[in-house]
Every structure is written in structure tokens, then in C-alpha cells.
């Protein structure tokens, strides 16, 4: 009987098992492959296959009815299955973008894809966490790998500084999170989410509310929501560009999914308490992102502030506190990840004979010198900004709809106004691409893989429009699984 239960648990957690075994096996492959360049290439290809297989396993092999594993420590439902598949596909795209850059910058080492795999393992544990201890294990496994990735270019002072800042501030966020978890445990008597939900329903005490606020503060750091955003611009700018692309996609999606699970399950009865906190985080993030990006000259810093603002817009859906808000949140994050991955693909294409360039003014005249990149970057910027006739518009439309349907009218109006402000810096990039004169030099041709990512994601900003109904069905099913 025990063996049958173990097999059932392992089937529920098949993606995590694959990632853990694969990462350890690939570590051995890299360590025992003599040629360093060959090891990096082999392990990267194996890790790409691992991400793709794990995503397919999450969708097709894990039982659709879900359940809990390891005595309730982890939970598998439609919400977690969707989030895992999205995280794995985002990691797959990020690793594709990294290959050529790492080789050109002499950073191609087999440890890079293994660190990514371990980080993604932490993310999949996060989205399935059903216990405070499991949640913390997933968060730290993700974070420790990301700290190393941020400083992966050891010869770069900027990268070393980025890794150190991320580590120090990450330790602060872990302290906040653990203090909140200890308060929750002290006032509920359990670390299991179902037990906490029972304690909250029986007596929603002030201690539980304070614990929830500290816990949410620690988690807000992971999505770079203001006022816990201070690490984001420096770390985005200093880290190697493919690492920054990874930071901006999979970890944000996983952390936001975890926040949604924590608030909508153990603290569902305290919705009117945490709703106020989420709205404050949302407004601050949208404001910091909108106004902070206006003065940026570095494209990676601009995308960092864009990330802060977009996490604020995603929180608009969560603030609704309904199943509509949950599926709107998932839709928004999915469309955002597609667009931001393409944007970083274009940043990785900004290479000249003297090396990589990152200034916004280096995009001048891109529509004339590289029309394909110019059109793609235009579509991606306008989609992230939420302009109508691009898929990003539907992301914002439905998070706003979720907030309005919950009666948060003033909050939605503020979000709409800040969305208009944020369009200014996206349009500024478009203006540089189309109306500024090129300086005479052009970017070197990008690799096929980077061009493919840029082409697919740029086209997706419009090409996905006829398939929005299909996406609605997927995210509605996932959102109803949690709400």
C-alpha cells in the first residue's frame, strides 16, 4: 500500500522528478566530458530537451484530477499544471536565447544550464507548494541558483555587483518571509495551507494578518513589486543579458502563481484584509514602473522598470480576489512573458563589431537598417504597453475587467491612467526605431535561434488574436482550479 502511494505521489510530481534527476545526471555528463566547449553544448541541448519533456509531462502525463502528495506538502491541480508548463516553456526560450551569447562572450560553461534546471525545479515546487516549509524550500532553491546566474560573468564588475546586490537583498526578503511564516505558524498551529485556512476561518486574528503581510512582503520581492523593487534595475543591467531575460520571465511567473495560491487558499477568508495590501503594492509598482522608465537610457534598465510596472498590472487581477481575477492574471502573465522574451531576443541582437550595446539610442533607424527587427520590436513594445489590436491589450483589458467586476472602480481608474503614462516610454522606443537617423553602423547578423524567437514572439503579438478564445478556455480552467 505504501509503495502504491509513493508511486502515485511520484506520478503527480513527475516534472519535478525529471528535473531533479536530469540536473544531477547532466552534472555528471558535464564533469566527465573532457572538452569544456563540448560539455557546455551537450548539456545545454540535453537541458533544452529536459524542459520540453517536463512541460509535456506536466500537460499530458500528470493525472488531470490532481491531488496532494507527500502528506499534503505539495498539491497538483489545473492551476499548478498550467503554471508549470508556462514556466518550463519560458525557461526553454530563455536557454535558447543564451546559447550564442555565452559562446561569443566566452561564458559557455556546462554549469549554466544546470543552474537554470535547478532554479526551474525550485519554481515548479513553488507553484505546487501546499505548506509553508515546502514553499520556502522551493523559493530558496530557485533563489540560490539565480544568485549565481546573476554573477555568472565573474570577470565583469557589473555582474559581480549585480549578484551581490541580489543576494544581500534576497536575504532580507527571506528574513521577512520567514518571520511572517513563523507568525502564521504560531497563531494557526500548522504550516499546512489547509490547516491555516481552517484557523483563519475559525478566528482571523491580528497575528495571522501580520504574518500574512510579512509573508506577502517577502514574496513581493521575488516579483520586484514596489517598494521591494530596489534590486531590479541594477541586477537587470549588470547581469549577462540572457540571465536578465530569464529573470524577467519564468521566475516572475512562478512567484506570482505562488502569491496567488497563498492568498486565495489559506487566506481566502481574509480577502478584504489582503486586498488592500495588494492594491497598495499594485499602485506603487505601476507608478514606479511608469515614471522610473521615462528617464532611462539603457534598454535593459528600461525593461526592468517595465517589469516592475507590469507586475503592478498583474496584481490588479489578483486584487479582485475572484476566480475571474485569477484567470485574468494567468492570461496577463502568459502574454507578458511572450512579449518580454522577444524583447530580450532583440536586445541580444544588438551586437556590433566592438561588442554588445545596450543604449536605447543604439536602436536609431533600426526600421531602415534591419526592418525585421524594427517591426518586431515595435510590435513587442506596443503589445507590452497594451495598445489595442495587440494581444497585450487583452491582458490589461481582462485584469481591469476583473477589478471592475469586484467593485474596485477607483483602483481601476488609477491603473488605467498609469497605463497611459507607461505608453510614453514604449512609444519613445518606437520613435527611436522609426524616426531617428541611424549612426552609420548596423548590428551584426543574429543567429538562427535568436531570430526565430524574435520572429515567433513578434508575430505572436498579432497572430495569437484569432486564438484568444482557446487561450481563454485554458486560463479559465486553470484559474477555476484554484479559485
Residue 423 CB neighbours (<10 A)? 17
Taking CA atoms, 345 is separated from 342, 351, 377, 404, 455, in Å, by 5, 12, 9, 35, 10
Alpha carbon distance 346, 148 (integer Å): 24
Residues 6+ apart with CB under 8 A from 79: 127, 257, 260, 261, 326, 330, 478, 479, 481, 482
Is the domain of 403 the same as that of 379?
A: yes
* Predicted local distance difference test score (pLDDT) of residue 364: 87
| Torsion sign over Cα 453, 455, 461, 462 | negative
Q: Backbone dihedral region of 129: left (phi > 0), alpha (psi from -120 to 50 degrees) or beta?
A: beta
How far from the centroid of its chain's Cα atoms is residue 353's Cα?
A: 32
Q: Which of 266, 286, 320 is the C-terminal boundary of a domain?
A: 266
Burial class (CB in 10 A: 0-12, 13-18, 19+), 206: exposed
Asked whether residue 202 falls in the same domain as residue 321, the answer is no
CA dihedral of 411, 416, 422, 428, whole degrees rounded to 10 = -170
d(CA 479, CA 77): 10
Q: Name the H helices within 33-131.
A: 36-56, 78-104, 111-128
Same domain, 58 and 146: yes
Residues 151 and 104 in one domain: yes
The residues that bridge with 74 in the sheet, in sequence order, are: 69, 129
Per residue in 329-347, pLDDT (tens digit) is 999 999 999 999 999 999 9
Residue 3: its pLDDT value, please? 66
Q: In the listed set 241, 266, 291, which residue is the last one of a domain according to the structure?
A: 266
The answer on 339 and 204 residing in a single domain is no
Residues 262 and 295 in one domain: no
| DSSP label at residue 131 | B
Q: What global pTM score does this model have?
A: 0.94
Are residues 342 and 262 both part of a single domain? no
Give first-to-last CA distance, the chain, whole Å. Answer: 32
Supply the pLDDT for residue 1: 44
Residue 336 shares a structural domain with residue 189: no
Q: Provide the domain count of the chain.
A: 2
Residue-number span of the structural domain to which 51 is assigned: 1-266
Which residue positions in the chain have pLDDT lower than 70? 1-4, 34-37, 440, 481, 483
Same domain, 187 and 258: yes
**Residue after which a domain boundary falls, among 240, 266, 292:** 266
The per-residue pLDDT for 37 is: 62
Q: Do 184 and 284 fall into the same domain? A: no
Question: Do residues 380 and 247 share a domain?
Answer: no
The verdict on whether omega for the bond into residue 167 sits within 30 degrees of 0, i.e. cis, is no
Cα atoms found within 13 Å of the Cα of residue 483, Cβ hemisphere only: 23
Does 233 lie in the same domain as 303? no
- The DSSP 8-state label assigned to residue 356 in this structure reads E
Amino acid at each position: 500500500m505504501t509503495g502504491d502511494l509513493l508511486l502515485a505521489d511520484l506520478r503527480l510530481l513527475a516534472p519535478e522528478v525529471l528535473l531533479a534527476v536530469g540536473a544531477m545526471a547532466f552534472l555528471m555528463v558535464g564533469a566527465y566530458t573532457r572538452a569544456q566547449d563540448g560539455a557546455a553544448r551537450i548539456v545545454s541541448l540535453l537541458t533544452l530537451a529536459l524542459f520540453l519533456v517536463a512541460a509535456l509531462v506536466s500537460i499530458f502525463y500528470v493525472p488531470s484530477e490532481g491531488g496532494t502528495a507527500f502528506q499534503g506538502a505539495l498539491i497538483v491541480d489545473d492551476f499548478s499544471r498550467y503554471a508549470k508548463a508556462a514556466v518550463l516553456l519560458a525557461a526553454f526560450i530563455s536557454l535558447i536565447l543564451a546559447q550564442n551569447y555565452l559562446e561569443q562572450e566566452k561564458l559557455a560553461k556546462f554549469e549554466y544550464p544546470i543552474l537554470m534546471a535547478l532554479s526551474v525545479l525550485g519554481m515548479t515546487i513553488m507553484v505546487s507548494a501546499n505548506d509553508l516549509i515546502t514553499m520556502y524550500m522551493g523559493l530558496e532553491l530557485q533563489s540560490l541558483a539565480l544568485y549565481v546566474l546573476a554573477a555568472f560573468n565573474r570577470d565583469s564588475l557589473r555582474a559581480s555587483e549585480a549578484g551581490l546586490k541580489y543576494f544581500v537583498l534576497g536575504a532580507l526578503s527571506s528574513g521577512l518571509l520567514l518571520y511572517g511564516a513563523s507568525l502564521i505558524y504560531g497563531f494557526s498551529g500548522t504550516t499546512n495551507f489547509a490547516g491555516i485556512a481552517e484557523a483563519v476561518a475559525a478566528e482571523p486574528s491580528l497575528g495571522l494578518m501580520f504574518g500574512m503581510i510579512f509573508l506577502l512582503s517577502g514574496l513581493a520581492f521575488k516579483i520586484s513589486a514596489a517598494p521591494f523593487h530596489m534590486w531590479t534595475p541594477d541586477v537587470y543591467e549588470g547581469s549577462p543579458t540572457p540571465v536578465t531575460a530569464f529573470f524577467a520571465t519564468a521566475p516572475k511567473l512562478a512567484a506570482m502563481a505562488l502569491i496567488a495560491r497563498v492568498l486565495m487558499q489559506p487566506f481566502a477568508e481574509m480577502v478584504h484584509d489582503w486586498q488592500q495590501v495588494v492594491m497598495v503594492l499594485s499602485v506603487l509598482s505601476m507608478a514606479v514602473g511608469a515614471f522610473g522608465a521615462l528617464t532611462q537610457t539603457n534598454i535593459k534598465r528600461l525593461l526592468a522598470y517595465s517589469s516592475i510596472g507590469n507586475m503592478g498590472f498583474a496584481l490588479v487581477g489578483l486584487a479582485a480576489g475572484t476566480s475571474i481575477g485569477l484567470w485574468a492574471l494567468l492570461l496577463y502573465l502568459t502574454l507578458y512573458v511572450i512579449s518580454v522574451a522577444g524583447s530580450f531576443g532583440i536586445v541580444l541582437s544588438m551586437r556590433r563589431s566592438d561588442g554588445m550595446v545596450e543604449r536605447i539610442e543604439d536602436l536609431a533607424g533600426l526600421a531602415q537598417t534591419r526592418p525585421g527587427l524594427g517591426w518586431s520590436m515595435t510590435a513587442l513594445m506596443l503589445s507590452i504597453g497594451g495598445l489595442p489590436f495587440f494581444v497585450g491589450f487583452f491582458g490589461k483589458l481582462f485584469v481591469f475587467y476583473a477589478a471592475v467586476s469586484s467593485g474596485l472602480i477607483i483602483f481601476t481608474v488609477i491603473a488605467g491612467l498609469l497605463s497611459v503614462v507607461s505608453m510614453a516610454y514604449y512609444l519613445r522606443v518606437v520613435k527611436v526605431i522609426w524616426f531617428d537617423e541611424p549612426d552609420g553602423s548596423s548590428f551584426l547578423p543574429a543567429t538562427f535561434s535568436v531570430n526565430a524567437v524574435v520572429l515567433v514572439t513578434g508575430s505572436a503579438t498579432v497572430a495569437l488574436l484569432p486564438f484568444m478564445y482557446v487561450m481563454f478556455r485554458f486560463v479559465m480552467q486553470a484559474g477555476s482550479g484554484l479559485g
